Amino acid sequence: MSEQSLLVDTDDRGIARLTLNRPEVRNALDDELIHGLTEEFHRLDRDPAVVAIVVTGAGDHFSAGADLKSVRRMAVSSLQENIDYVAELAEMLKVYANLGKPTLSMVRGATVGSGFGLVAASDLAVAAEDSYFALPEVKIGIIPGVISPYILAAIGQRRGRRYFITGERFSAAEAHRIGLVHQVVPAGQLEEAAAQMIGHFHDYTGRN
């Protein structure tokens, strides 16, 4: 993976920030980025200096979901190659959802498909008012199967079915109302709101 596709920084409080750094494609998740996230989640979970993990996107968007090149390749790939791709995404989300440290998604702009799933798999999420969410997979004839357990856990089966079936886009305010994100703030206050939420994180050694 290009080292610039995923930026990782840990501050002196032990807060690790992972920034999806593919702004030219709205931080879409390709195979290499998915693999890189999995490796970093494992590494950070093992690191005793890390207290909590924040995931965000570079530029104007959180993540547009699956990279279009990956989606197009699936149409001509073998069954086993497609199974391997989906298994890697599933593993990344499973690792993230089961980390032994608190996680927070800091969201702005587009949060779509597997990017939506990443937010749903986090412990906490704060979003800018101008962010939006969608599960458009139905529009190309597939279902969001890998991410669905995390979405259903976050917003419930009834609401999940709606967005799985319609593929419609909805606002940050609606995401807050249905429980996908915990706080919505003006875009200029996103960093401050995330910092305040992170301030509640602490480890069991008493460090704040």
Q: What pTM, to 2 d.p., does this model score?
A: 0.90
Instruction: State the Cα–Cα distance between residues 36 and 41, nearest whole angstrom.
Output: 9
Give pLDDT tens digits for 100-130: 999 999 999 999 999 999 999 999 999 999 9
CATH number among 3.40.50.300, 3.80.10.10, 3.30.365.10, 3.90.226.10, domain 6-186: 3.90.226.10
How far, rounded to the nearest angstrom, does the alpha carbon of residue 152 sit from its chain's CA centroid?
15
User: Any catalytic annotation for residue 174?
Assistant: no
In this predicted model, what pLDDT tens digit does every residue of 26-79 receive, in sequence order? 999 998 999 999 999 999 999 999 999 999 999 999 999 987 566 555 555 666
From the list 40, 129, 137, 191, the catalytic residue is: 137
